[in-house]
Structure 1
Amino acid sequence: MAEPAGMTDLADILRRLAELGETKSGETTDWRAAPAYVWTGTSGKPVAQIAAPPLALLKGIDRQKAAATENVARLAAGHAAHDMLLWGARGMGKSALVRSAVAAAQEDGAARLALVQAGTDSLDALPALFAELAGQARNFLVFIDDLGFAEGDTHGPRHLRSWLEGGVEARPDNVRLAVTSNRRAIVPREMSEQDDPINPRDAVDDRLALADRFGLSLGFHACSQDEYLAIVAGYAGEHGLDWDESEALEWSKRRGARSGRVAWHYVTELAGRAGQKL
């Protein structure tokens, strides 16, 4: 005998609800299972291993390295720690330092701390991430790499200020932010700001106010020739590669910069010639 129409409809609704529940449960993140995650906007994708160079190989940034690793170690231990802004020259190890500092802190207990990378296109979904991380028996460093805001964008900077300074969407006590940017002020600044005859400092101060909300601000600058060669020597020595100083300098000249990234590209070239993986 066929089921009444109402019963059929009810069974179909219950089936769909069950499927929806399975989908949602499949997206549930175990925030204690992995050393790092990538926030997709709705869930955390676990990362089995943090790809980061040993801290000893990060040359030419000793002051920044000491400050960042100490701050991350405090966060891992559950002590007071700062939100961090790492700004300045491209290729000088800003994002590598964040990853390396977390990896080093995890050596004393991986369960204490996890890295969560959030893309710059998922800023609006950060409150949902904070809601998931709040109350977890673990500390988290939420990492936003290469952050910048377009001219005239007030939405993003306003939310970031709220997260940093205890607004209604503020990050929970077990979470700190690490942001890298090529600009000290994160947002773009125009020369006209300096020429405004009415309160000429107001616009500049407002732009810098966002950066000033980070308790720890670390500047990175282009390295000297000696620092560049030291970086090359460190990477080459780590992988047992022979290298030539004059060739290393010529490599940097052709690229118009001396940086840790340029040094790594040169060492990658050496490894390729030697038929070696890195």
Structure 2
Amino acid sequence: MENQAELLARIAAALERLSPPPESRIAWVGRPAYVWDGQTGRRVGHIEAPSLELLRGIDRQKAAVTANVARIAAGHPAHDMLLWGSRGMGKSALLRAAVADAQDKGGNIALVQVATDAVSTLPDLFAELAKVERNFLVFIDDLGFAEGDTTSPRHLRSWLDGGVEARPENVRLAVTSNRRAILPRHGSEQDDPINPRDAVDDNLALADRFGLSLGFHNASQDDYLDILRGYAAEYGLELNEAEALEWAKRRGARSGRIAWHFITELAGRAGKRIR
């Protein structure tokens, strides 16, 4: 009778034969978008995004982002982008919509979303994308760093500008964040008895690496209603503006996301599909 060690070895070998082989490196062509998990890319067959016409109340930001993405798609000089500010005002939706629009117009560009826990592997991603005859917008949504993490922000600064592992010419970065400086700020920065300005400058240094920085702010009542009117017209829904304002009041905010939640409610009542 075989001993326990031999039995375990045979079981392990059998399981290894049954397991699928490691996923090979993808070609990074043929699909509009990909997701990078830190080790490999996963193909995405369709970019989920509203049409640019439905993104209202952010006209200035929309014009700047779409123009910059068009430059990336054409292989022209373009900026890395930081989109910061209020939640739910369309930062990530605008990036996705701009890339989809550039693709519809024949641009040679793909969107690559990086998981927030895979930011440290950006050099590996850059090494793969640099070999491809295609332009890429690498997208990090809702970027933040753990309290006390000074290494990751410094690496990202280096990858953006000036480091030996800086992103290749066919790649630009786009980051969304609720904070303009990305990093958390503390009142104690101003209390540094040695040089308070140094602490502030160090935290702002990462944000300064982005050539295009755009702020997104809470929607006014008029902007909120304009967003709703656009959605309602697009999907053939009857809009009660008083009810829409009450919906936002109960949620304590007016934003594109809150407007979409209300449109979802209206579509559900009417039994209409909205995607």
Deviation at 1:169, TM superposition (A): 1.7
Instruction: Please tell me the root mean square deviation across aligned C-alpha atoms, in Å.
Output: 1.7
In structure 2, the partner of 1:167 is 163
What is the TM-score of this pair, normalised by structure 1?
Answer: 0.90
Distance 1:223 1:30 in 2: 41
In structure 1, the partner of 2:62 is 65
Determine helix, strand or coil for the equivalent of 2:144: coil
Q: Select the residue among 123, 128, 133 that pairs with 1:132.
A: 128
8 Å CA contact 1:150–1:187 kept in 2: the answer is no
Q: Select the residue among 129, 139, 142 that pairs with 1:146.
A: 142
Matches within 5 A, 1:1-278: 26-109=23-106, 112-278=108-274
8 Å CA contact 1:92–1:261 kept in 2: the answer is yes
Deviation at 1:198, TM superposition (A): 2.5
Structure 2, unaligned runs of 5 or more: 1-12
Count of residues in correspondence between the two structures: 259
Distance 1:213 1:203 in 2: 17
Structure 1, unaligned runs of 5 or more: 1-15
Determine helix, strand or coil for the equivalent of 2:175: strand
Deviation at 1:24, TM superposition (A): 6.8
Question: CA separation of 1:151/1:25 partners in 2, compared to 1, >3 Å: closer, same or farther?
Answer: closer
What is the TM-score of this pair, normalised by structure 2?
Answer: 0.91
Distance 2:271 2:58 in 1: 31
Question: CA separation of 1:31/1:24 partners in 2, compared to 1, >3 Å: closer, same or farther?
Answer: farther
Determine helix, strand or coil for the equivalent of 1:159: helix
Compare 101-110 and 257-266 and name the one that shifted more: 101-110
8 Å CA contact 1:236–1:243 kept in 2: the answer is yes
Deviation at 1:25, TM superposition (A): 7.4
Distance 1:155 1:170 in 2: 16
Deviation at 1:26, TM superposition (A): 3.8
